[in-house]
Amino acid sequence: MKIAYITAGAGGMFCGSCLRDNTLAAALHKLGHDALLIPTYTPIRTDEENVSEKRIFLGGINVYLEQKLSLFQHTPRFLKRLLDIPAILRWVSRFAVQIDAKKLGELTVSVLKGEHGNQRKDVAELVNWLATDVKPDVVNLTNALLSGLVHDIKARARVPVLCSLQGDDAFLDFLAEPYRAQSMQLIRDHCREIDGFIATCNDYADYMAQYFAIPRERIHVVYPGLNLAGHGGPHTRPANDPFTIGYFARICPEKGLHVLVEAFRILKQTPGLPPCRLRVSGWLGANNKPYFDDLQKKIKNWGLADHFEHVECPDHTGKVRFLQSLDVLSVPATYREPKGLYILEALANGVPVVQPRHGSFRELIDATGGGLLVEPNDPADLARGLRELMNAPETRIELGRNGKDAVHSRFHAAAMAEHTVALYKRYV
């Protein structure tokens, strides 16, 4: 099967959707399918082998300039191609991640207008390439924010178009009005043309059915899976290491690091508590540095600086090493997390988790038996859950073993790819 998988670069940062898209495309290749991972806006960034196409469509510089200056809607092709060179887009991405999503409303609406927006030439270029050069059997958009492409793709390529739902609301809810309302209406209109939808858990499928007014039966669930290369090796921690609580995710308010830091403060106030520490790692963008600096100041003022460590965002090998240094992982996200890849990564290495009772976390922990659930946005209950595992090493080891067995047997990349192909065959 020939599959065109259109993804959106995340401005140079590590993004769960990009990581999942890349893992899926690589697994589809191994199953013998011709899967093209086609980046838009910017190159994707991944800590595994990047299997995406080198050419970038709807390049971020061109898209932005076409919105701000009408002259750029008529630039010659050679200049557009020059501005779409991946190295230039990667350089510009260092500054783009600092742009507030609230300021992107007008641009978002224009891109969602597809062939009627200011980026119509870029849309036509991508669709023409799909229809004449690629000739896929199916097209999969990685998020609904790319749905402005659907009408032209179906008219020119004449193939089924599916759409993955894996976090669109997190961006849309930040848009200022009237752009949020306009974007929502455009997406709901496009959803009527999309043949089917893929969500990464049932909770998110239920939520997005209401959010985008999609009949629930049109949304299928394919759980994420990991490329397990490097995961699951033996832990080599020193015997005298203190109990280690870890956080590995993008460092930002919505991932809830502040909730974990407050829970750690509460935990350290427990009389007779054995030695413990908090280790934090993950992507830290310039726009979230003030948030992290404030948390570090609080930790210092509480007298806990000696029990806190920040590890710079590592490569794949470093990530696995970081996870294997932990006794438990917690990423208490404050929003409805649709994927939770970091939960699967921790469990793949036998590290149990303590997570809020919402989003994908409930389903992943129920399915793997690899952790505990606590009340969302409740540092005291999170501290209770962490203390429970701290005081029960046998339970902690059992949860880690359950999670590791489940991920290695069911939540791997090949399973995700097989389920995805089975779904495509219902539409092709």
What is the predicted pLDDT for the residue at 13? 63
The Cβ of residue 415 has, within 10 Å, a number of other Cβ atoms equal to: 17
Tokens for 238, please give them: 């020193």
**Distance between CA 127 and CA 133 in Å, rounded?**
10
- Kindly report the length of the chain: 428
73-87, 250-264, 265-279, 300-314: segment of lowest average pLDDT: 73-87
**2-225+413-425 and 243-410, same CATH topology:** yes
The least confident of 80-84, 301-305, 338-342, 411-415 is 80-84
Give the residue with greater pLDDT, 58 vs 66: 58
Contact 261, 298 (CB under 8 A): yes
Kindly state the average pLDDT of the residues 107-132.
Answer: 94
pLDDT at 70: 65
Domain boundaries, the chain: 2-225+413-425, 243-410
pLDDT of residue 92: 58
| Residues forming beta bridges with residue 34, ordered by sequence position | 2
CA 125 to chain centre: 27
Residue 98 is predicted with a pLDDT of 45
**What's the pTM value of the predicted model, to 2 decimals?**
0.91
pLDDT tens for 4-37 read 999 987 666 667 788 999 999 999 999 999 999 9
- Given a cut of 70, whether residue 275 has pLDDT beyond it is yes
| 47 pLDDT tier (thresholds 50, 70, 90) | confident
Confidence class for position 97, pLDDT limits 50, 70, 90 = very low
pLDDT, position 80: 58
Tens-place pLDDT, residues 158-179: 999 999 999 999 899 989 999 9
Asked whether the predicted pLDDT for residue 103 surpasses 70, the reply is no
pLDDT for 24 equals 97
CA 88 to chain CA centroid, Å, is 24
Share of residues in the chain with pLDDT > 70 (%):
89
Tell me the mean pLDDT in the region 247-261: 97
Q: What are phi and psi of 427, to 5 degrees?
A: -110, -30
Highest mean pLDDT among 98-107, 197-206, 269-278: 197-206
Given a cut of 70, whether residue 83 has pLDDT beyond it is: no
Reference 227, options 361, 323, 341, 368; nearest CA is: 341
- Distance between CA atoms of 284 and 310, rounded to whole angstroms? 11
Determine contact, residues 356/375, Cβ cutoff 8 Å: yes
Structure confidence at residue 43 (pLDDT): 84
Residue 218 in contact with residue 208, Cβ under 8 Å? no
Options 3.30.1490.20, 3.40.50.2000, 3.40.50.300, 3.40.190.10; which CATH number does 243-410 get?
Answer: 3.40.50.2000
Query: Does the domain formed by 2-225+413-425 have CATH 3.40.50.10300?
Result: no
User: How would residue 240 be classed by pLDDT, with cut points 50, 70 and 90?
Assistant: confident
- pLDDT confidence of 85, banded at 50, 70, 90? low
The mean pLDDT value of the chain amounts to 91
Task: Say if residues 232 and 347 touch (Cβ distance below 8 Å).
Answer: no
pLDDT band at 63 (very low <50, low <70, confident <90, very high): confident
Kindly state the average pLDDT of the residues 195-209.
97
Residues 350-384: tens digit of each pLDDT: 999 999 999 999 999 999 999 999 999 999 999 99
Of the listed ranges 40-54, 161-175, 300-314, 345-359, the one predicted with least confidence: 40-54
Q: What pLDDT, on a 0 to 100 scale, did the predictor assign at position 75?
A: 65
